[in-house]
A and B are shown apart, each in its own frame.
Chain A
């Protein structure tokens, strides 16, 4: 395609593309996001492609491989437009039926519709499904119309309309004031006001300024940034261009971890396409503004999500944080003023410019505006990516959207904000998803991970898990983080293995406080949060481990014993065959017995037993 030299040429292109697509009667949107790919959506895509060409529908039906639709649990997901029919758990064998029945004849295939696990009701469109109903999908909804590898799709869907608005005759201050008025806060975890960050960066002296998109998402169980960057890279790019125009940057980097191959690929393609159209490079759309973007791949260190470590990594140095006594907006990448924002923050920018700050802050609370994407995982019925308005209560997210507990065990807690966040108990579920509210409760919104836990989760074990993760991911530069986390883990391991003493709890609290106040970077400063929040809300569990040497949830292996309830055991022998350690003995039709000495507490027998005869205490 030829280079675009003005806003008018961009609009012409948009018109032309829309005209070209008028012959298309039906669009099939197949999710090609990472979640659906793991449930074999690539085979589904191939099957559709073959089916469409064999039925001669290539010209009238468009197959659009989109980014994530959010409902990853139901993948692969297919949406057929017009009609918005939503099919889930689609397999390659269904391709013929879908094309013939739904696309050609316009009939529904009942068995592929989403079935509500609670009521058993089937729903036809996304909008009717309870999982989607309670959401406010401002960013994620843009994923469904766009093939991430096609800039044409993005332009047809109305993309790159915000950029021209800031190019000519708009002062940087005006853009920044709009962002400030919107109340947008950093979506990566810190929640720093984006407008203020840009303003400080604009005012900082420097020869060259930089913008960086932080896509080094590493929280266990979180994949919001991944799906936004994979599903709609041009949206992120457009946000970065607007930011660069506002602060006067000439160069940008997308720092994306190499473990996200699809995100790397899609953002590379997006940058090339934008460059080809003249949306990146010198004199963008005939304006004096020039901007270039590079993709920097990260090696996957969790600590490289920290701004100074990330910048060191881009510079080719060891990814270690530096003291931030001078902020990176003044002294950042290559010692120049740098604005670093999270993927989701950048993705919010174009719509603020397009629709105005008052549209953006119409949703949200006093301190937190707009929407937030959460990665909802754990012991609930519906897992996936959800986007809710700030201020939505955790209860709504977990029970209305998530559908409540996955099985008969009641929900006990929710862990928000990844390793830097904390665990909140059930009685705190009325708290809103809001930066300040959750911080006050000892947790944080963080990047948006939300892991739901039920009665079978041991909170001491959860704290131990996160400490192990952080100990592994700490760069080891400063003493409190390297040694402090290690010592906390030592104490918690003592507790879970039955060597705990009550005075260790006070030491643990004191140590956690010391680490959070003295560590060098954000990783260390927030590392004790899982410990502090579980100690705050689940202290009786810690005490049970220490005083009674019992794990109430039946998780900590050193404190539990497996035994067979003689009332329930009918001697079927399934557990004997299942046990890999030969710890179970017993004659057929006789009550079986577990040998404590041999039992490794793996739990296989328990999951094999059909009669709930295996007990854990």
Chain B
């Protein structure tokens, strides 16, 4: 039997299923929390940190990721405060500066309110969200790819760099990758990256706190579209 707990998310009292995460609950109830590494049927690792929320305990708020935080009775969550919006914008800025050549990442940056990027663009191919590794490990039980290296050297790789026999060649890793969606005008040349902001018409001036089933969500594989 499902057990329920009452949580407050942005003031809305929600009757949530015990054992689910705050992010899943919020998205389910139409409260939009931007997220990238979270995929509904995969485990959560809290890598992209975009889904941060304020968790208020005894009057003190602490910033934590909503994907790894499970709902509990009486929990108070704030998803759209000035502090969170600012932190989220800074994170998205870091992310898009790292990999501007993906529509998914550009959409997320726009969704999080990034209007200028203060770092030099890097144009990398991978943002290490770990979606591919988890789909390979958890859904297909293949473990054909994994993380190799530490820190700056961390990358996704086959075991010892060779495609193994046990790779089922299902292609799920490619489908689920946010980097496989090229920007609207096609791939940008290295050194000429920019924020195209073409999706701006999809959003209101102020980022809405509720889910509008926006086209952007489709772009970055929001939980609702998967």
Please tell me if the beta carbons of B87 and A517 are within 8 angstroms of each other in the complex.
Answer: yes
Tell me if B177 is interfacial: C-beta within 8 Å of chain A.
Answer: no
Tell me if A58 is interfacial: C-beta within 8 Å of chain B.
Answer: no
Please tell me if the beta carbons of B49 and A482 are within 8 angstroms of each other in the complex.
Answer: no
Tell me if B189 is interfacial: C-beta within 8 Å of chain A.
Answer: no
Q: Which of B91-99, B191-199, B200-208 contacts A (4 or more CB under 8 A)?
A: B91-99
0 or 1 for each of B72-95: is its CB under 8 Å from A? (1 = yes): 000000000000000100110011
A311 to B182, CA, bound (A): 40
Please tell me if the beta carbons of A301 and B52 are within 8 angstroms of each other in the complex.
Answer: no
When C-beta atoms are compared, the residue in chain A nearest to B48 turns out to be A479
Task: Please tell me which one of the listed residues B46, B48, B149 contacts residue A323 in the complex, with CB atoms under 8 A apart.
Answer: B46
A-B residue pair count with CB separations less than 8 angstroms: 88
Q: With contacts A323-B65, A323-B68, A477-B45 known, is A518 near B152, CB below 8 A? A: no
Please tell me if the beta carbons of A520 and B49 are within 8 angstroms of each other in the complex.
Answer: yes
B-chain residues with CB within 8 Å of residue A490 when the two chains form the complex: 119-120
B-chain residues with CB within 8 Å of residue A478 when the two chains form the complex: 46-49
Please tell me if the beta carbons of A476 and B94 are within 8 angstroms of each other in the complex.
Answer: no
Interface residues of B in 119-154 (CB under 8 A from A): 119-120, 127-128, 147, 149-154
Tell me if A511 is interfacial: C-beta within 8 Å of chain B.
Answer: yes
Within the complex, the shortest CB–CB distance from A238 to chain B, in Å, comes to 36
Tell me if A486 is interfacial: C-beta within 8 Å of chain B.
Answer: yes
A497 to B149, CA, bound (A): 29
Please tell me if the beta carbons of A518 and B150 are within 8 angstroms of each other in the complex.
Answer: no
A373 to B135, CA, bound (A): 47
Within the complex, the shortest CB–CB distance from A103 to chain B, in Å, comes to 52
Q: Count residues on chain B whose CB falls below 8 Å from chain A CBs.
A: 32
Interface residues of A in 509-546 (CB under 8 A from B): 510-511, 514, 517-520
Q: With contacts A478-B47, A483-B98 known, is A471 near B151, CB below 8 A? A: yes
A507 to B152, CA, bound (A): 21
Within the complex, the shortest CB–CB distance from A320 to chain B, in Å, comes to 8
Please tell me if the beta carbons of A475 and B151 are within 8 angstroms of each other in the complex.
Answer: yes
Task: Please tell me which one of the listed residues B46, B65, B98, B154 contacts residue A475 in the complex, with CB atoms under 8 A apart.
Answer: B154
When C-beta atoms are compared, the residue in chain B nearest to A514 turns out to be B90
Please tell me if the beta carbons of B64 and A479 are within 8 angstroms of each other in the complex.
Answer: no
A-chain residues with CB within 8 Å of residue B172 when the two chains form the complex: none
B-chain residues with CB within 8 Å of residue A507 when the two chains form the complex: 118
Q: With contacts A318-B147, A490-B119, A518-B63 known, is A482 near B46, CB below 8 A? A: no
Tell me if B70 is interfacial: C-beta within 8 Å of chain A.
Answer: yes
B-chain residues with CB within 8 Å of residue A519 when the two chains form the complex: 49
A-chain residues with CB within 8 Å of residue B154 when the two chains form the complex: 475-477, 482
Task: Please tell me which one of the listed residues A303, A471, A475, A479 contacts residue B95 in the complex, with CB atoms under 8 A apart.
Answer: A479
Please tell me if the beta carbons of A472 and B87 are within 8 angstroms of each other in the complex.
Answer: no
0 or 1 for each of A472-499: is its CB under 8 Å from B? (1 = yes): 1111111110111011001000000000
When C-beta atoms are compared, the residue in chain B nearest to A480 turns out to be B49
A449 to B147, CA, bound (A): 33
When C-beta atoms are compared, the residue in chain B nearest to A519 turns out to be B49
Within the complex, the shortest CB–CB distance from B127 to chain A, in Å, comes to 8
Q: With contacts A478-B49, A479-B91, A520-B49 known, is A325 near B119, CB below 8 A? A: no
A-chain residues with CB within 8 Å of residue B87 when the two chains form the complex: 514, 517-518
Interface residues of A in 106-120 (CB under 8 A from B): none
Within the complex, the shortest CB–CB distance from A513 to chain B, in Å, comes to 8
Tell me if B173 is interfacial: C-beta within 8 Å of chain A.
Answer: no
Interface residues of A in 258-304 (CB under 8 A from B): 301, 303
When C-beta atoms are compared, the residue in chain B nearest to A301 turns out to be B150
0 or 1 for each of B94-119: is its CB under 8 Å from A? (1 = yes): 11011000000000000000000011
Give the 6 A-B residue pairs with the shortest CB-CB distance, closest first.
Answer: A476-B154, A323-B68, A514-B90, A474-B151, A476-B151, A323-B46
Question: Can you report 20 A-B residue pairs in the complex whose CB atoms are below 8 A from each other?
Answer: A301-B150, A303-B150, A322-B45, A323-B64, A323-B69, A475-B150, A476-B154, A477-B154, A479-B48, A479-B49, A479-B91, A480-B49, A483-B95, A486-B152, A487-B119, A511-B90, A514-B91, A518-B52, A520-B46, A520-B49
